[in-house]
Structure 1
Amino acid sequence: MVSRVIPVETFDLVIFGATGDLSRRKILPGLFRRFCAGQMPPEARVIGAARTEMDVAGFQQLVSDAISEFDPKNKATADDMQRFQERLDYVAIDAKGDDGWTELAGKVRKDVVTAFYFSVAPSLFGDLAERLRSNNIATSESRIVVEKPFGHDLQTAKALNATLAKHFDETQIYRIDHYLGKETVQNLMAVRFGNILFEPLWNNHFVDHIQITVAETVGVGGRGSYYDQSGAMRDMVQNHLMQLLCLIAMEPPNEFEPNAVRDEKLKVIRALDPVSPSDIVRGQYSGTDKLSGYLEDSENPDSKTESFVAMKVAISNWRWKGTPFYLRTGKRLRDRTSEIAIVFQDPPHSIFEAQEERRGNVLVIRLQPNEGITMRVTIKEPGPGGMRLIEVPLDMSFADALDEAHDVHDAYERLIMDVIRGNQTLFMRGDEVEAAWAWTDPIIEGWQERGDKPRPYDSGSSGPEDSLMLLHRDGRRWREVRA
């Protein structure tokens, strides 16, 4: 089967912060893969912009080096790289001053799609937006891409939205969350709304509970100073896990259209109940003989910042009332994995002898590693000896089930091309961001007022013991986190 590549219009994409880590790791390699896939029109261009003084040849070499380092499995030829480099340009620019803006204005065309990727600190968003307008570089049709964090709390999120709104309409602003670009996350919508098999069961009458896990094996490392001001709640729950929760819980939109989808996500956030302190577990990883602890990594011996959060969340609407959602995320855990598990209720009456080890049907959507979908079902164990029941997985790993023409692409590839197409479906809207902070802020303020300290947990474990009790007290248990 041949994968159908949807073409895009000719574009100029300006990457502010083009020499930075995110650009080199994700944005530039992703653009090169889209170029090799034939998705970049012949006249499309990528213009790097950063403080670093270098000529175009220097930037071309930087791009080549980045692709070699961060996309070593790429099978592209030297000719592919040369043709891609011919699309590249570069401008040394001062985000807060005047240097470079006249030169950039002379390079960006007005008769093609123009997009500006703010791969810089949020403190520079306003400066970039203002100068794009004052130098007549951006038009009413231009698009800007901004990375998280979208504020530190509700107040700063509102201020950031107001700053961007001074210069760009909401239809021009693309708040990027790379989790929404993952193939499996998009497949969650396809599974729900493209198959009659699941949607009738997707409610509190048939679903016992839902678990969302995003586990990392790494610590905060070189991000210690940033992370100590953020923590797992701000860094992961308020955005990544919130988006996954919305896609699972949302009502079917009337059409697969950006605002229709985002309207339904917003309704979920607004239906979230406040979270009781007894339904939250915070943790902080401890060091070992071989690994440093959080306090060493953050360089703050008195830090009360959490590197782990587990919580029980309730949604007050007709579809989900009474069905708990259990969220957990953390660093320095046993395995690196991200998954969503929809645990269905047991049959109302079993005609078979009770077997304690049976756990019922579970639909698991794996985000990483090995993206795919697994459905656990009960069957008869083969062989004589009576009706013995066992559980088996119906497993679809994307890497195994799809041919090379359907390779699972990096999230940034999909999202950047959606920006060029003008499709905001997988991007957060301003009111959605503010609603998420409005729910998150009281939780954070609560443990700060109480002076709560995060519970220590061993590096390489499953997190604090109290997180297990979060489910055990409800007669449930976390799924084993295994890569």
Structure 2
Amino acid sequence: MVSRVIPVDSFDLVIFGGTGDLARRKILPGLFRRFRAGQMPADAQVIGAARSDMDDAAFREMVREAIVEFGGNGTPDPGDLDAFLERVAYQSVDAKGEAGWSELEDKLRDDCVRAFYFSVGPSLFGDLAERLRTFGLATETSRIVVEKPFGNDLESARALNRELAQYFDETQIYRIDHYLGKETVQNLMAVRFGNVLFEPLWNAQFVDHIQITVAETVGVGGRGGYYDHSGAMRDMVQNHLMQLLCLIAMEPPAQFEPDAVRDEKLKVIRALDPVEPHHIVRGQYGADEKQPGYRAHVENERSRTESFVALKAHISNWRWAGTPFYLRTGKMLRARASEIAVVFKDAPHSIFGAEAGRHRNVLAIRLQPNEGMTLDVTIKEPGPGGMRLLDVPLDMSFADALGPDGGEVPDAYERLVMDVIRGNQTLFMRGDEVEAAWAWTDPLIDSWEARGDVPKPYDPGSSGPEDALMLMHRDGRRWRDIKA
């Protein structure tokens, strides 16, 4: 099976923060993979922009090193890498001043797509947007890409949206969430809406509950200063997990078109009930014999910021009334894994008797590692001795299913950047989505701050605080094991 690559129109992509960590680890290696796949036009340009005083040759060498280190799949072909670097340039600019902007404008062409990636902190979004207009770099068809965090609460999100709206129309703003670029997330929509098998069962009548887990084995690392003012709720739940919840719960859009999809996602967020205080658990990882704990990592011995959150949510609409959604995310957990599990209800009557045990169908969508899906079905255990039942998975790993000729599964960033060039906003968040998510999240944060809530401690390498297990046990359910 050979994957089909659809070329995009010619483009000039300017990466503000082009010497930063995100550009080096994700954006530039992703662009190289799209170039190698034949998706980048021959005359496309990639221009790095930052405050550093650097010429084209020095920037190209930095890009070369980044692709070798983070490009994956072995050492890149030298010819391919040299050909890609010919399309790479650099311009020093001052985001808050005037230096470099006229020179950057001279590097851009008039007859192609212009896209500007803001791979910088949100405090610079407004400055960059204003200067793109002031110096004439942005046209009516230009696009800007902004990274999270999209605000720190509802008030700041609204302020950020207002600021960007002064210079760019909503159709030109691409708020990127890399989770939505994962192959499995998009396959979730294909499974739901492309198969008659699942959609008739995708409701409270047949689904017992849904679990969404995003687990990490690493700590806060070098992000301690940011993370201690953010926490797992702001850093993960408000955006990544919220987006997964929307895709799993939304109504079928009339068509696979940007605003149709985003309208349905927005309806889900607005239908979310407030979360009761006893339906949320916050945790903070401690120390072990190998490394210090969270408070040492963030250099704040009195920190009450959570590195783990588990909660139970309900959606008040006809499709999901009464069906709980359990969300959890955390750092320093047992395994690195992201999974959505749709747990279907028991058969209404078992003809095999109580001794056959309890068996349920579970559709598990794995986002990482080893993207794919499994469907647990109940069969008879082979051999004599009566009707003994067991659950077996029907497993579809994308790497196995596509075979050796299926091509590489694109990284989320390379897929999303190509969608920006195409002008396809389907997998990007709209401003009202972001504000609705904060409107649901803010009261949760305000309530535990008002109570003086202290996160529950948990051991590194565990599955989180014991209270998170009880969140499920009280309902007669259990979390699925976190497996790498």
CA distance in 2, matches of 1:110, 1:278: 57
2:323: which partner in 1? 323
Q: Which amino acid aligns with 2:419?
A: D
Aligned residue runs from structure 1 range 227-306, under 5 A: 227-306=227-306
CA contact (8 A) 1:358 1:390 kept: no
After TM superposition, give the deviation of residue 3 of structure 1 in Å.
1.3
After TM superposition, give the deviation of residue 108 of structure 1 in Å.
1.1
2:225: which partner in 1? 225
1:372: which partner in 2? 372
Q: Which amino acid aligns with 2:448?
A: W
1:440: which partner in 2? 441
2:18: which partner in 1? 18
* SS across alignment from 1:378: strand
After TM superposition, give the deviation of residue 399 of structure 1 in Å.
1.2
CA distance in 2, matches of 1:457, 1:147: 31
After TM superposition, give the deviation of residue 74 of structure 1 in Å.
4.2
User: Matched residue pairs, number?
Assistant: 483
CA distance in 2, matches of 1:358, 1:375: 16
Q: Which amino acid aligns with 2:69?
A: E
CA contact (8 A) 2:130 2:167 kept: yes
CA contact (8 A) 2:68 2:76 kept: no
Aligned residue runs from structure 1 range 355-394, under 5 A: 355=355, 358-394=358-394
CA contact (8 A) 1:212 1:327 kept: yes
1:428: which partner in 2? 429
Aligned residue runs from structure 1 range 347-362, under 5 A: 347-355=347-355, 358-362=358-362
* SS across alignment from 1:334: coil
> Are the structure 2 counterparts of residues 68 and 312 from structure 1 closer, same or farther at C-alpha, using a change threshold of 3 Å?
same
1:53: which partner in 2? 53
Deviations 1:406-436 (A, max 9, x none): 4221100100000000000000000000000
Deviations 1:102-150 (A, max 9, x none): 1001111121000000000000000000000000000010000000000
Q: Which runs of 5+ in 2 are unaligned?
A: none
CA contact (8 A) 1:358 1:391 kept: no
> Are the structure 2 counterparts of residues 148 and 355 from structure 1 closer, same or farther at C-alpha, using a change threshold of 3 Å?
farther
After TM superposition, give the deviation of residue 356 of structure 1 in Å.
7.1
CA distance in 1, matches of 2:371, 2:88: 32
> Are the structure 2 counterparts of residues 357 and 318 from structure 1 closer, same or farther at C-alpha, using a change threshold of 3 Å?
same
2:151: which partner in 1? 151
CA distance in 1, matches of 2:345, 2:303: 41
RMSD: 0.9
Q: Does 1:78 align with 2:78?
A: yes
CA distance in 2, matches of 1:75, 1:267: 46
> Are the structure 2 counterparts of residues 140 and 214 from structure 1 closer, same or farther at C-alpha, using a change threshold of 3 Å?
same
Q: Which amino acid aligns with 1:50?
A: A
CA contact (8 A) 1:36 1:76 kept: no
* SS across alignment from 1:405: coil
Q: Which amino acid aligns with 1:375?
A: L
Q: Which amino acid aligns with 2:467?
A: D
Q: Which amino acid aligns with 1:287?
A: A
CA distance in 2, matches of 1:405, 1:311: 39
After TM superposition, give the deviation of residue 49 of structure 1 in Å.
0.3
Runs of 4+ that moved beyond 4 A: none
After TM superposition, give the deviation of residue 354 of structure 1 in Å.
1.7
2:482: which partner in 1? 481
After TM superposition, give the deviation of residue 358 of structure 1 in Å.
3.3
CA distance in 1, matches of 2:75, 2:281: 45
CA distance in 2, matches of 1:132, 1:31: 23
Under a length normalisation based on structure 2, what TM-score does the superposition of the two structures give?
Answer: 0.99
Identical columns (%):
74
CA distance in 1, matches of 2:94, 2:74: 33
* SS across alignment from 2:326: strand
After TM superposition, give the deviation of residue 72 of structure 1 in Å.
4.0
Q: Which amino acid aligns with 2:319?
A: R
* SS across alignment from 2:341: strand
After TM superposition, give the deviation of residue 355 of structure 1 in Å.
4.2
CA distance in 1, matches of 2:452, 2:476: 30
CA distance in 1, matches of 2:354, 2:57: 71
CA distance in 2, matches of 1:223, 1:49: 23
Deviations 1:20-76 (A, max 9, x none): 000000000000000000000011110110111111011110000001111242453
CA contact (8 A) 2:33 2:71 kept: no
Q: Which amino acid aligns with 1:187?
A: N
Aligned residue runs from structure 1 range 446-457, under 5 A: 446-457=447-458
CA distance in 2, matches of 1:110, 1:407: 33
1:132: which partner in 2? 132
